[in-house]
Amino acid sequence: MIRVEHLSKHFGNLQVLKDINVEIKRGEVISIIGPSGTGKSTFLRCLNLLDHPCGGRIEIDGVDILASKAEVPALRRRMGMVFQSFNLFAHLTVLENLCIGPIRLLGRPVADAADKGMELLRMVGLAEKGQQFPDQLSGGQKQRVAIARCLSMEPKIILFDEPTSALDPTMVSEVLGVIRRLARQGMTMAIVTHEMEFARDVSTRVLYMDEGLIYEEGPPEQIFEHPMRERTRDFIGKVRSLHWRVESPDYDLYALVGQIEGFCEKHLIPAKTAYAAHLLVEELLGVLLACPGSPCIDLTLAYSEKQHQLELRTDSFGPAGNPLESAQLDDGIALQLIRGYAEEIRYERADDCNRLRLLIKPPAAHGPGHPGE
């Protein structure tokens, strides 16, 4: 139904979409997830040409909507869009908001448009609000009206741009309930959302976007239970990260420790675990900087809110080999400290780097006599 090939979009020097390739089939419900600022909303706006792409191709039922002779208004009417901010006409009643499009753009008789409008309001549970004005409604009710208004134009596809992000949490479920009903009825939909459980339940496929690309896609079970790629795993696991690059043996240890302490305090990580992270970083850097190769070392401290785990990752350049298996370290104090504070240590060769992953022990597993008792 929709085929997107090599779609790109930039605003000045800012590249928002880099190379989007995806196909959406009739009846699919596609959830688009990912960090803020990765181009999700821009992607939807490009699909119905609210933002014009800078490159690539978009086909709807085999018609290239970017072609010079494409009838954009007619094509856009086939693709409804529901925004974060409702965009209802404040001077019109709820029913009039649903009737104005069919009357003016589709040429429907007033009575027919009103009958259809009331039918749609009943579907979203708001028939009794037909003669009220938008400012008399709650946020959840306004969004349900916006969905009904979109349906009044008889679209073949509906695009939802974070339809619950402007709502009080108590109102989210009423809007998601309407979208679930549309999914059961077979409506083709693409939904940008931060509601992970909803995306898991309602989607036929999930797209994870990062840095202007579709970084990973698959059925909900794969994306939420067995993601294949690291950034997807971090996002699904609600991982928060601190990154630091060491480029010299004369690095600023005190600044690094301050960053670690601030990161741990921000995410309510116990002081004892923060202290273990500090010690691990200091000892690991001592080991890695003594190894042959470049002194450039990338550190990542990653905290998973979902699993309540803190992981330290290091990427160091140099000859392949686990730095912690060096013969000179077998009985070293540094190695003893590292093993004492790490619940699990894994090594892999990735991207021409020696990568170490150390899962930091939870507070109860630390030995006595350290700060944070």
Q: Tell me the average pLDDT across 25-43.
A: 94
Residue 364 has a pLDDT of 65
For residue range 165-189, what is the model confidence (pLDDT) as tens digits? Answer: 888 887 888 999 999 999 999 999 9
Please, what is the Cα angle at 278 between 294 and 35, to 5 degrees?
A: 80
Residue 287 in tokens:
């080991």
> pTM for this one?
0.74
Q: Tell me the average pLDDT across 318-323.
A: 86
* Furthest C-alpha separation in the chain: 88
Domain 239-360, CATH: 3.30.565.10
Q: Above 60 in pLDDT, residue 328?
A: no
Residues of the chain with CATH 3.30.565.10: 239-360
Q: Taking a C-beta distance cutoff of 8 angstroms, is the pair 98, 120 a contact?
A: yes
In whole angstroms, give the CA distance from residue 296 to residue 317.
7
Residue 372 has a pLDDT of 41
For residue range 208-250, what is the model confidence (pLDDT) as tens digits? Answer: 999 899 999 999 999 998 999 988 988 888 888 899 999 988 9
2-236 carries CATH number 3.40.50.300:
yes
Residues β-bridged to residue 261: none
In whole angstroms, give the CA distance from residue 81 to residue 190.
10
Residues of the chain with CATH 3.40.50.300: 2-236
